[in-house]
């Protein structure tokens, strides 16, 4: 970073930070208030840019139990549906980059079980954008993956392929199986070798061994620690394309920095720049009302972590367990929220927490685009 860019960043931060006197910092106040309302037991917030971590703090405890330990920066979280964009989506795009599959492949090419079932027009691209016309279904406990494939093949499509957006875990369950069929290895092994090891993400994996480090989640069976909250993921053995991955805020920050840097981090490239661009380009459905990337969300009913202040090309994802990521390449900032979520009956309150956090992050840390353009001009 040049001296001029450093000055611009300092100026932007100086303009952004209001005077709070003896009051707690705004992000601290926001998360502490969520804990006081029993929306969450605790959490970790991390805000960063392509080059560094700008803010990180831990709050509360890993569960509501009286003996629960304090939340720490290295706490492991079940990141739920963030699995879709931190494991499955990059795996599929990496395979496409390697020429081992095409996003325009008919799904029936990889799933001959679909032949003659009216699914010939569904493409791998449609699985990634939730525009297959498929809905979620219950899985058999005896052979869950086979029941997912057979259930998808037998299902009557709802709406026109490519135009009807319906968020469905089934799409990513199939993508994980596609990864296995294309590589001969499971999604967990392929993602670890292709992304987590090269990026130094040593705390990102399915089925964690050290459960004591894990934040707790709540499911129909009670409190879980170190086991996937999602029932379908548990049925599938803890390794699934839609949920089940565990990670830390620090590891996810490395992944976000890689995305902002166009597929590379610390001199190690895991994706081509064009692949990242393709992954985050807008795909429209519902007549333009819903905008998704490949796997990533851009503008949809699930976009609360965008808040106010992030650009229209920013992207991210949420997780039911209380996790979210939002990344803005325009203002060079990302926001990670990982929590021990307690209250699932107030989804709007949780959406507001995500939105307000991102709004604060953009106010406090984002370099305004016009100042960023000045810095870029000066660098030339």
pLDDT at 373 over 60: no
Q: Is the pTM of this model over 0.85?
A: yes
What is the band of 366 on the pLDDT scale with cuts at 50, 70, 90?
Answer: confident
Residue 361 and residue 12 in contact, taking contact as beta carbons nearer than 8 Å: no
Neighbours of 220 (CB within 10 A): 6
If one compares 377 and 309, the residue with the highest pLDDT of the two is: 309
Of all residues in the chain, what percent carry a pLDDT higher than 70? 90
369 vs 175: which has the higher pLDDT: 175
- Mean pLDDT, the chain, integer: 91
Structure tokens at 50: 């392509």
Indicate whether 144 pLDDT > 50.
yes
pLDDT digits (tens, 9 = 90+) for 9-63: 444 444 334 333 334 499 999 999 999 999 999 999 999 999 999 999 999 999 9
- List pLDDT tens digits, range 53-97: 999 999 999 999 999 999 999 999 999 999 999 999 999 999 999
pLDDT category of residue 368 using cuts at 50, 70 and 90: low
């Amino acid at each position: 970073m040049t001296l001029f860019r450093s000055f611009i960043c300092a100026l932007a931060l100086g303009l952004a930070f209001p005077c709070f006197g003896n009051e707690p910092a705004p992000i601290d106040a926001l998360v502490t208030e969520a804990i006081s309302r029993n929306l969450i037991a605790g959490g970790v917030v991390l805000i960063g840019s392509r080059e560094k971590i700008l803010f990180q703090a831990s709050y509360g405890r890993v569960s509501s139990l009286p003996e629960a330990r304090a939340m720490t920066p290295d706490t492991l979280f079940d990141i739920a549906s963030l699995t879709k964009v931190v494991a499955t989506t990059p795996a599929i795009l990496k395979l496409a980059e390697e020429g081992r599959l095409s996003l325009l492949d008919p799904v029936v090419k990889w799933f001959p079980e679909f032949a003659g079932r009216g699914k010939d027009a569904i493409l791998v691209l449609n699985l990634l954008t939730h525009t297959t016309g498929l809905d979620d279904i219950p899985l058999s406990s005896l052979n869950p993956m086979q029941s997912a494939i057979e259930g998808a093949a037998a299902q009557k499509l709802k709406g026109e392929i490519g135009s009807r957006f319906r968020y469905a875990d089934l799409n990513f369950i199939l993508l994980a199986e596609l990864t296995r069929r294309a590589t001969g290895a499971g999604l967990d092994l392929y993602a670890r070798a292709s992304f987590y090891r090269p990026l130094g993400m040593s705390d990102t994996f399915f089925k964690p061994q050290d459960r004591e480090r894990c934040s707790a989640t709540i499911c129909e069976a009670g409190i879980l620690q170190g086991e996937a909250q999602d029932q379908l993921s548990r049925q599938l053995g803890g390794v699934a394309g839609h949920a089940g991955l565990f990670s830390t805020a620090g590891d996810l920050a490395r992944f976000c920095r890689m995305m902002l840097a166009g597929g590379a981090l610390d001199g190690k490239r895991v994706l081509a720049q064009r692949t990242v661009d393709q992954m985050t380009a807008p795909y429209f459905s519902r007549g333009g009302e819903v905008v998704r990337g490949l796997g990533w969300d851009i503008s949809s009913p699930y976009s609360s972590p965008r808040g106010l202040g992030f650009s229209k090309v920013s992207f991210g994802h949420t997780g039911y367990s209380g996790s979210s990521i939002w990344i803005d390449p325009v203002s060079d900032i990302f926001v990670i929220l990982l929590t021990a979520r307690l209250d699932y009956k107030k989804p709007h309150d949780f959406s507001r927490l995500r939105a307000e956090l991102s709004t604060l992050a953009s106010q406090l840390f984002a370099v305004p685009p016009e100042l960023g353009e000045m810095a870029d001009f000066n660098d030339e």
